[in-house]
Structure 1
Amino acid sequence: MTASHLHDPGFLDGNSPSHSFREVLSGTSSVSRFSPLKVSSCHVLPALLISNEELDALGARFKFALVRKFPGSRLSLESIHKFFFNLKLNGELSVIVLNKNNVLIKLRNDLDCCRVFAHRSYFVNNCYMELDKLSSHFDVCVESPIIPIWISFPILIPHLFSSCILQGLGFIFGQPLKTDNATANGSRPSVDRVLVELDITKQYPDQIWLDSETLGYAQNVEIEVFPFYCGHCKALGHSKAECSVLHPILLLSPYM
């Protein structure tokens, strides 16, 4: 069973009045165009099957969105807005409550997103807040293993001190966000640093090949130590070997 071709105007924009699905999906505005959706079954359950391409298209309007997690009590929306106002961001933002422990922060540009996400966590009014990058497969019940990590490239050849080259180096490992100030202004040529969104469940090389195939060289790479991630708990802070859920004996023997 398939539905007709549709346009997807998206929700969570805060500026659309309520309409019927027929009104919304028959629109002709410049919004995402989708192939027929497939209603089927999967894993013995009724299913609406959505392709990865369609999920990516749906997520495009959230490319500068972050999710704030509150392990304890959540701050009021007024406090969150005040916190961001004091950061003096360049663009506008909106804050949307997802549930009692999570809020969606929709930023409007890459600069603000990089600046806020680079810190990963904040204390505001004595309340601890963690940041996750929103993705098409985001789950509010688990912690994302994709976090910003500094990668250093020591003794980089001077003619490679270029934003284009540094961004390309970052893409080898993940999604590059920015360089540090010393790299940007060239005041520390001995080490160039790039902040990159890394999946910390993966392993990365300590050397890469740089320059041309014939005249290039092996460039050393130094990755900032990143936190452990437990694939069982889907949480940061401990490894599977240290997981008390998988290994209850650890609760009885804290010094093992």
Structure 2
Amino acid sequence: MFFNLDAEGSNSPSKSRSFKEVLSGASSSGDIFPNVQQSIFNGVPAVLLSDEEVLKLASPFQFTLVGKFGLRRPNLDAIRNFFSSLKLMSFYSVGLLDARHVAIQLSNDLDYSRVFARCSYFIHNCQMRVLKWTPFFDIKEESPIVPIWISFPNLRLHFFNSKVLNALGSIFGRPLQTDQATSSRTRPSVARVLVEVVISKKHPKEIWVGSKAYGYLQKAEFEKVPDFCNHCKYMVMPLWTVLNFIRT
């Protein structure tokens, strides 16, 4: 069942329930019951929820991504078989959003980072670009939130620390992971952090690191940032991205 994270290892169909059963609290499935107000908004009937309630409803989907296909899309079984071949660590689910988009529900941060970091895959010779899902995702647009490797060249050795690296990444967005050489401290010339970055915004190129008295200006370098059109809300994929994934 799509998005049923409790269904791992079970082939039994879910029992259909009426709205009366669900809303009476007869289920222990962990459903969230928001405060809902029926009203009129902008001249049309409306179901109104607070911003807090919307975010609460979205919380079970924190590891959700969207796969977007171009002119062609393989059938759903082929897409699911592809994800099976990735040997992900935990339960996942794939379902259609529309003819060009699939929702990819993952269940942990490591699988999420691994799938999102690649940005694009080819499935049966059809390119699938990976987009971030948010509560405000619109299939008619593309999210400007993209995983970007940020390098910190000549970061001082004592700052190769997980809390410091997380803080450095957090200046630009949500840190996902460091690369192996950074975490093992085997490449002291540069630290690299993968960060979810809003590429439609400007970001600083230098950061002050350390105490006010003994700190220094640390450079931050963004690697391979795609262009994003703020007018049409679409990414412009550079040629190097397409050629790289054709080769691999």
Q: After TM superposition, is the score higher than 0.5?
A: yes
Shift of 1:181: 2.0
- Aligned residue pairs, count: 228
Aligned partner of 1:24 in structure 2 is 22
**RMSD of the TM alignment (CA)?**
1.9
Question: 1:40–1:214: structure 2 CA closer, same or farther, 3 Å change rule?
Answer: farther
**Structure 2 gaps, min length 5:** 8-12, 238-248
Cα separation, 2, equivalents of 1:177 and 1:92: 19
Question: 1:141–1:177: structure 2 CA closer, same or farther, 3 Å change rule?
Answer: same
Shift of 1:12: 3.9
Aligned partner of 2:111 in structure 1 is 112
Shift of 1:149: 0.7
Shift of 1:174: 0.4
Per-residue CA deviations over 1:147-186 (Å, capped at 9, x if unaligned) read 1111111111111111221111111110111111221221
Identity of aligned residues (%): 48
Aligned partner of 2:228 in structure 1 is 229
Aligned partner of 1:136 in structure 2 is 135
The aligned amino acid for 2:153 is: P
Shift of 1:33: 4.9
Question: 1:47–1:152: structure 2 CA closer, same or farther, 3 Å change rule?
Answer: same
Shift of 1:201: 0.7
Per-residue CA deviations over 1:96-130 (Å, capped at 9, x if unaligned) read 11111111111121111100100111112111101
Cα separation, 1, equivalents of 2:24 and 2:221: 52
* Larger mean Cα displacement after TM superposition, 197-206 or 29-38: 29-38
Aligned partner of 2:245 in structure 1 is none
**Structure 1 gaps, min length 5:** 1-10, 239-256
Shift of 1:47: 1.5
Moved over 6 A (4+): none
* Larger mean Cα displacement after TM superposition, 87-96 or 142-151: 87-96
Shift of 1:30: 6.9
The residue matched to 1:58 in structure 2 has which SS? helix
Q: Contact between 1:34 and 1:54, CA under 8 Å: does it hold in 2? A: no
